[in-house]
Copies of this chain bind each other. A is one copy, B any other.
Amino acid sequence: VGDGLRVGVLGCGNVGAALCRLVVDHADIIQARAGTALDVVAVAVRDIGRTRDVPVAADVFTMDPAAVVQDPTVDIVVEVMGGIEPARSLILDALAAGKPVVTANKELLASHATELLAAAEATGVDLLFEASVGGGIPLIRPLRESLAGDRIRRVLGIVNGTTNFILTRMTEDGSPFGEVLADAQRLGYAEADPTADVGGHDAAAKAAILASIAFGAQVVAEDVAREGIAGVTADDIASARELGYVVKLLAVAEEEGGAVAVRVHPAMVPVSHPLASVRDSFNAIFIEGAAVGQLMLYGRGAGGGPTASAVLGDLIDAARNLRGGSRGATIGTLVRKPVRPLDELHSRFYIAMDVADRPNVLSQIAGVFGRHEVSIESVFQKGLGDEARLNIVTHTAHEREMRAVLAEVRELDVVDRVQSVIRVIGDDG
């Protein structure tokens, strides 16, 4: 330990350990870019007895995270422990003590960003969280700084690696969801309880953070309309391919007329769209700005190395600002903006339904669509007799009307069931 800035790290899982290694391996780069060395002087862990592949002295570990934050010799705090508490209280304490904080905590930011940013504003210190969305992909700094003068209209993101891996395998191997999920679990790409990923909860948290940053708005995970991928069938994926689309789990955040709309759901994306070629566990964020047009930022959305790279970028920023007695660009205070409910949104829809193959089926179904003024773009019938399936793609329609159509269609004698409803994204949205 030398005379560099003194860093306290809360948590030593994948990201914390990778960070400690990077601080040592990239000491030359850090010195050059931060203008100072960084010394990890304290690492708070849950189990101090565990052996760790981390290049720090044994006496650096502690089981008392509060002591790390309160240690007057710790200049900067890195929070990579995850979860709401005690992370939230520890960060608030650090900020109150005037210490810059770097965090990778998606769950916390998606629920308490307003409070945390206000605390950072109150004491005028840096609170940086590039790693909380999109792992190693630079997202927050580009949105906050590079595009500072632009008006962001929409952000479309593939922000969950597990579901993108599953959908990629379903697309490329033609396997059904359950089989691919089991494979992913065996390979360690999916958790034993896959709900957080498959149900879209992880993506919804990230969507809330992206919307907060892109629009400066108070958006939390509960504001995000959410649908997972468990209902996506091999049939849907095959139909998508025939129509020139691939199925992706998208986080969509928009601002229009001062109101924001944020949702997570499976979507058909045209094969020519840049998001369509984001394969396996990669993440990407597609941004539409008034002046800049279309942008995409692509990379590894998870993993120790990529996430630690983003944490270290923030840490160098905070260190440089601390040395210069200045403060980095801030998000400022998040503003309360109306959140538009899903019902008011609109998109194109793909609907797959099992129908009886009788002469007047289509006219009955089309009649329902027509009465609700949902215009049909194309219809394909597959199979014959009792095995018939109808695939319908609509023109742009409101969610509310679409829901009314589906309720009514389900009542028709000729419709056995509505198998899938998937929103369809155009090349221009």
Instruction: Name the one of B138, B294, B324 contacting A327, with C-beta atoms under 8 angstroms.
Output: B324
Question: Which B residues lie within 8 Å of A231 (CB)?
Answer: none
Stretch at the interface among A190-198, A305-313, A343-351, A359-367: A305-313
CA gap between A280 and B265 in the complex, in Å: 29
CB of A313 within 8 A of CB of B149, answer yes
Judge if A142 is at the interface, Cβ distance under 8 Å.
Answer: yes
CA gap between A278 and B274 in the complex, in Å: 7
CA gap between A141 and B329 in the complex, in Å: 13
Q: Tell me whether A291 and B305 are in contact in the complex, defined as CB-CB below 8 angstroms, given that A274-B298, A320-B329 are known contacts.
A: yes
Instruction: Name the one of B274, B289, B299 contacting A293, with C-beta atoms under 8 angstroms.
Output: B299
Interface residues of A in 155-205 (CB under 8 A from B): none
CB of B313 within 8 A of CB of A148, answer yes
Stretch at the interface among A25-33, A222-230, A397-405: A25-33
Question: Which B residues lie within 8 Å of A295 (CB)?
Answer: 136-138, 297-300
Q: Tell me whether A312 and B150 are in contact in the complex, defined as CB-CB below 8 angstroms, given that A305-B291, A325-B326 are known contacts.
A: yes
A: interface residue count bin: 35 or more
Judge if A70 is at the interface, Cβ distance under 8 Å.
Answer: no
CA gap between A309 and B216 in the complex, in Å: 18
CA gap between A34 and B148 in the complex, in Å: 8
Judge if A147 is at the interface, Cβ distance under 8 Å.
Answer: yes
CB of B149 within 8 A of CB of A141, answer no
A selection of 20 A-B contacts at a CB cut-off of 8 Å is A26-B150, A32-B216, A130-B146, A136-B291, A138-B138, A141-B141, A145-B316, A146-B313, A147-B313, A149-B312, A149-B316, A274-B298, A277-B277, A291-B305, A295-B298, A295-B299, A296-B299, A324-B326, A324-B327, A325-B326
